[in-house]
Amino acid sequence: MTSDDTVLLDHGAGGKASHAMFSEMILPLFHNDQLAQQDDGAVCEVPAGRMAFSTDSYVVDPIFFNGGNIGDLAVNGTVNDIAMCGAHPLYISVGLIIEEGLPIKDLQKILETMAQAAEKAGVKIVTGDTKVVPRGKADRIFINTSGIGIIPEGVSVSGSRARPGDKIIISGTIADHGMAILSAREGLEFESDLKTDSAPLNHMVKSLLAAGHDIHVLRDPTRGGVGTTLNEIAAGSGVGITLFESALPVKGQVKGMCELLGFDPLYIANEGKLIAIVPEHHASRALEIIQADQFGKDAAIIGEVTDQYPGKVFLETAIGGRRLVDMLTGEQLPRIC
């Protein structure tokens, strides 16, 4: 297999080509004891207690974009989903569905960034599967990752635990990922150096939980953005939420692109940000801990939980007005006038 080759149906057929791909490309990158066993599943040591388990599939288009690709996105995404349960992620599985004809060098690059992302997050990729489908039956590559993590004793984090008076913290600038993808998409020729914010947040969560404070809610506002995630929390906890527009951290570039396209940054995806909802008396300390993390420098308190209008999210606008922030319905599309 050379870097000039492309993925063929043979690579997913379970025969010699499949074995060669596993032993020559995948195993050297993801190497760990469980994977090296090459059994039907991974057998892993886990401490006693509660476990978090999550799965997610990645179909992003384009597969390569500024600051990352579908590979690290898939690892970070599942790492973060587990971390948002208050757990320390340990093991990840990877399912690859590849369209025949994908250049081997693209696959190699994706696998390399997955290995790097796993190392950064401190998780092991212990089991996986590769399928190759005929041209046109998939779009280059789809990746599923699942993972498990262990929840420390005493930790209880849930979207149903927001309480009136709590403060809402975002760990950095919003809408970076969605706008980076959009600017890389064919047809929109933005001159932008905007990068995805894709990052593992488990170390930040670990620091937050280790400080011993009562963290009520942790969520990563991915698809649907901060607006949709907060609506889910408001509904799940039976509380109202007020956001302050002037406190929302948004990069100038992102703001500019959103203005031009008629998008609201509150509904644009993030891949390396978390929302932490904490009691008021813990808020400033929690903010300091998040800001001390390499992925949390621009963290800010952006709102508060109220007992008004349960299930609803409101925004206090910069000019002193007030409006509803509803859940995203459908896909945001560029405006036409």
Partner 1 sequence: MGLKYIEEFRDADLAKTLITCIRQESKKPLRLMEVCGTHTMAIFRHGIRSVLPDSITLLSGPGCPVCVTAQKDIDVFVAFSRLENVIVTTFGDLMKVPGSGTTLARQKAAGADVRIVYSVFDAVAIAKQNPKKQVVFCAVGFETTIPTIAAGILMAEEQQLDNFCIHSANKLTPPALAALMETEGVNIDGFMLPGHVSVITGTDAYRPVFETHHTPSVIAGFEPLDILQAIRMLVLQNETGIPALENAYTRAVTDQGNPKAKAVMHQVFTLCDAVWRGIGTIADSGMQPNSAYSRFDAGARFNLDLPEVSEPKGCACGDILMGLKTPDTCALYKRTCTPMTPVGPCMVSSEGACAAYYKYA
Nearer to partner 1 among residue 63 and residue 179 (C-beta): 179
Q: Which of 161, 202, 162 is nearest to 52 (CA)?
A: 202
Nearer to partner 1 among residue 124 and residue 251 (C-beta): 251
Nearer to partner 1 among residue 211 and residue 324 (C-beta): 324
**Minimum gap (Å) between residue 192 Cβ and partner 1:** 5
Quickly list H helices, the chain: 16-21, 27-30, 33-37, 70-83, 104-121, 176-184, 202-210, 225-237, 252-261, 280-292
Nearer to partner 1 among residue 47 and residue 330 (C-beta): 330
Residue positions counted in the chain: 337
Pairwise CA distance, residues 294 & 330, whole Å: 33
**Minimum gap (Å) between residue 34 Cβ and partner 1:** 41
* Structure tokens that stand for 179 in this block: 């706008």
Nearer to partner 1 among residue 281 and residue 322 (C-beta): 322
For 195, how many CA atoms within 13 A lie in the half-sphere containing its CB? 8
Nearer to partner 1 among residue 52 and residue 181 (C-beta): 181
The dihedral sign for the CA sequence 209, 213, 215, 221: negative
With H, G, I as helix, E, B as strand and everything else as coil, classify residue 60: coil
- Which residues contribute to the site for partner 1 (CB under 8 A)? 187-188, 190-192, 246, 252-253, 255-257, 259-260, 262, 264, 315-324, 326, 329-330, 332-337
**Minimum gap (Å) between residue 253 Cβ and partner 1:** 5
Nearer to partner 1 among residue 56 and residue 316 (C-beta): 316
Q: Which of 102, 29, 114 is nearest to 71 (CA)?
A: 114
**Minimum gap (Å) between residue 317 Cβ and partner 1:** 4
- The answer to whether the beta carbons of residues 310 and 319 sit under 8 Å apart is no
**Minimum gap (Å) between residue 172 Cβ and partner 1:** 18
**Minimum gap (Å) between residue 246 Cβ and partner 1:** 7
Nearer to partner 1 among residue 28 and residue 334 (C-beta): 334
Number of helices and strands in the chain (H, E): 10, 13
Pairwise CA distance, residues 65 & 49, whole Å: 39
**Minimum gap (Å) between residue 22 Cβ and partner 1:** 36
18 — phi, psi (to 5°)? -60, -45
- The answer to whether the beta carbons of residues 99 and 136 sit under 8 Å apart is yes
Q: Which of 126, 56, 53 is nearest to 89 (CA)?
A: 53
Nearer to partner 1 among residue 5 and residue 259 (C-beta): 259
Omega of the bond prior to 62 within 30 degrees of 0, cis? yes
Q: Which of 99, 239, 123, 267 is nearest to 182 (CA)?
A: 267
**Minimum gap (Å) between residue 332 Cβ and partner 1:** 8
**Minimum gap (Å) between residue 231 Cβ and partner 1:** 12
